Amino acid sequence: MIKIFYNLNGQAEVSENLGTLKKITLEDALWLDLFNPTGDEKRAVEAFLHTTLQSRAQAEEIESSSRYFETVDAIFANTNFLIPSAENYTMESVSFVLTGQTITSIRQVPLRSFTDIQRRILFNSRLYPTGFHVLVGILENRVDLDADMIELMSKEIGQYSKRVSLGEDVNEEFLLDINQLQENTMMVRENIVDKQRMISSILRSDKTPDVINGKLGILLKDISSLINHTDFSFERLEYLQNTVLGLIDLEQNKIMKIFTLVSLLLMPPTLIASIYGMNIKLPLLGGNWDIIAIIAAMLVIVFLVFLFFRKKKML
């Protein structure tokens, strides 16, 4: 699917017909949005731009030289867009090609940032006179969404911390939830840092209009603050995880302490029972009160052992 945004008599128009590319010039085109494009759509756009578009495999490469590079006539930039789900996050790669004043985007999934900017272009095209303005609009919208996700994660971390403070039962599921939050936080940070690298590269480019530099600089400041927030959230999660592990260790130590105490208390009576269980002549054997005397001796020894550990503050 392709959406072609172009200027016609000072007004922004949109078309989903490939034939439109034969009726307009590169100067008229504002934004070519390729959403899960077919081979014919990609070839038609390549012929219109006089350049080669990147494949999805190329867009997903992690080398810096593949994430951003320039040719004589175009800027190629790749970045990831985070998609939240019920339990975890996924990252989808998006490619941007800036040719003159025209931007081309290639994506495989629907993205809210793109839908919002497309609606704004049709509502007031004067806010987006060039493809650079469209790119900045998409990135601003995306950074706002990333900030919302970080805020939600911070609230979720606070809820888990409150549960620990209230003394709720912490178990394996609780630790797994914290681990998932850590994974999500790392993915958000990776996603934001990736945009920071791309914006910094565009800011240094000679092809970037001066009017865009100020907006890109503000975006970088916003991204830096988001990175600080993600770092703090990850530190909170590590502290929370260590606290939970410490509580689990304390609980296990209490259980082991009880078992050890029971074993120690029963050792003297077990010794007496073992002695009187031997098939030899021993004291107190033969009377009617022998069993009572032996049991009493066991209880006295247990009590003395208990007092000893209590005095040593081991209980």
Q: Catalogue all structural domains in the chain, each as residue range(s) with its CATH number.
A: 2-248 (3.30.460.20), 249-311 (1.20.58)
pLDDT at 147: 86
pLDDT at 5: 81
pLDDT at 275: 63
* CB-based contact 136:212 (threshold 8 Å): yes
Say whether pLDDT at 226 is over 80. Answer: yes
Task: Give every CB contact of residue 133 below 8 A, 6+ residues apart in sequence.
Answer: 127, 212
Say whether pLDDT at 272 is over 80. Answer: no
pLDDT at 43: 84
57: tokens are 């495999």
Say whether pLDDT at 58 is over 80. Answer: no
Q: Is the pTM of this model over 0.75?
A: no
pLDDT at 193: 85
pLDDT at 74: 83
- Spatial strand order of the sheet with 68-70 comes to 11-15, 2-8, 29-35, 102-107, 89-99, 74-84, 68-70
Q: Would you tell me how many other CB atoms lie within 10 Å of the CB of residue 181?
A: 21
Q: What percent of the chain has pLDDT over 70?
A: 84
- pLDDT digits over 164-222, tens only? 777 677 677 777 877 888 888 888 888 888 888 888 888 888 888 888 888 888 888 88
Percentages (nearest 5) of helix, strand, coil residues in the chain: 60, 15, 20
Higher pLDDT pick, 298 / 30: 30
Higher pLDDT pick, 59 / 151: 151
104: tokens are 């081309």
pLDDT at 178: 78
- CB half-sphere exposure, 75, CA atoms < 13 A: 21
Q: Could you tell me where the beta strands, DSSP code E, fall in the chain?
A: 2-8, 11-15, 29-35, 68-70, 74-84, 89-99, 102-107
pLDDT at 278: 57
